[in-house]
Amino acid sequence: MLTKHQIQTFPKIELHCHLDGSIRPQTLIEIANQQGLFINQDETIVRTHMQAPADCHNLKDYLDCFDFVLPYLQTEDALTRAAFDVMEQAAEDGIAYIEIRFAPSLSMQKGLSCQQTIQAVAKGIALAETRYPIIGNILIIGMRQEALHDITSIFSEATALSEDKVVGLDLAGPEVDGYVPHLAESYRIFIDEQPIQLTLHAGECGCIQNIYQAIESGAQRIGHGIALKGDPATQAFVREQGVLIEGCPTSNVHTRAIDSYAAYPLREWLQNQVHFCLNTDNRTVSNTTLTNEYWHMVQHCGLTAEELATIMEHALQHSFASEEDKAALLVQMSAVFRTEAME
């Protein structure tokens, strides 16, 4: 059986990790103290505000955890420190490549510009790259509950920046059935004209139509896509379109999209050749690591070493990393897979 240690040491790819949901409580305390903002100095208490409650009922309850963090993420130093912190955790988790996503609009409440927020996050990622064997890129989120004009303006600023680390766009927040046609205008022009790619949160709460519409509007990847469970026709569509599902098991258990890890459609997707990978979604809110996400699948869905390697290869293929980085990462992954550690 695949061991937790083998998963930990495999050079992993993570494509769906939110910055604001993944900061360590102790780091948030330091960020607050540095700004002279009030925060309880007891890490355990701060953690309770940042983690999904045991009685979390739905996506809305889950998203409420972010309200505690955001007031502290309104300066460049705070964003740089937060990005560095998430990269550091990812490196400890054995991740070789990560795409960290965040919504600039949520850190612009005290006067930062969209571009300042992005440069601050990019700085934290770059700093971590000099200290750890990990590569990080950024996905820019437009919040679905904000006005179309505001989301468009965020994407416009983000793409105009020419920051190499910005590799993709995303829409997140509470998911309404049929949201895609209303918001597609916010990103169409940018994905048509720029070398920037698109991943959309869709089918996180059972809205299958959102997955179709997201793919038809240009999404190369789908965040969560749990609505695909038990729907072979849509799974075939996803496969034919060459789209990857960024699966987030623990997050789906928390938001009650599935009842348990055993109910995660891992075997169904493998059998129907749907390309997917696993992700933490939010390291702190979900109290998880990528090693844990795959370990849950070993324990509850019989994930094998060979399947892990295949999933990771798909994750790399569908990542928005440069071709050069992809080639180097593939060599790194193949070397580990060939060693006895994975036998």
Residue among 14, 146, 204, 307 flagged as catalytic: 204
Query: Where does this chain bind Zn ion (CB under 5 A)?
Result: 281
- Asked if 297 contacts 303 with a C-beta cutoff of 8 angstroms, the reply is yes
Residues 6 or more apart whose Cβ sits within 8 Å of residue 195: none
Smaller CB distance to Zn ion: residue 281 or 307? 281
Smaller CB distance to Zn ion: residue 93 or 281? 281
Smaller CB distance to Zn ion: residue 20 or 281? 281
Question: How does strand 275-278 pair with strand 197-202?
Answer: unpaired
Specify whether 204 is catalytic: yes
Interior angle at CA 173, CA 168 and CA 176, nearest 5: 110
Report helix, strand or coil for 143. strand
Q: Whole-number minimum distance, CB 99 to Zn ion, in Å?
A: 11
Q: Whole-number minimum distance, CB 15 to Zn ion, in Å?
A: 10
Q: Whole-number minimum distance, CB 170 to Zn ion, in Å?
A: 8
Alpha-carbon distance of 15 to 27, in angstroms, equals 23
Helix (H) or strand (E) holding 140: strand 135-143
Helix (H) or strand (E) holding 244: strand 244-247
Smaller CB distance to Zn ion: residue 215 or 333? 215
Q: Whole-number minimum distance, CB 338 to Zn ion, in Å?
A: 33
Alpha-carbon distance of 180 to 215, in angstroms, equals 10
Residues taking part in catalysis: 204
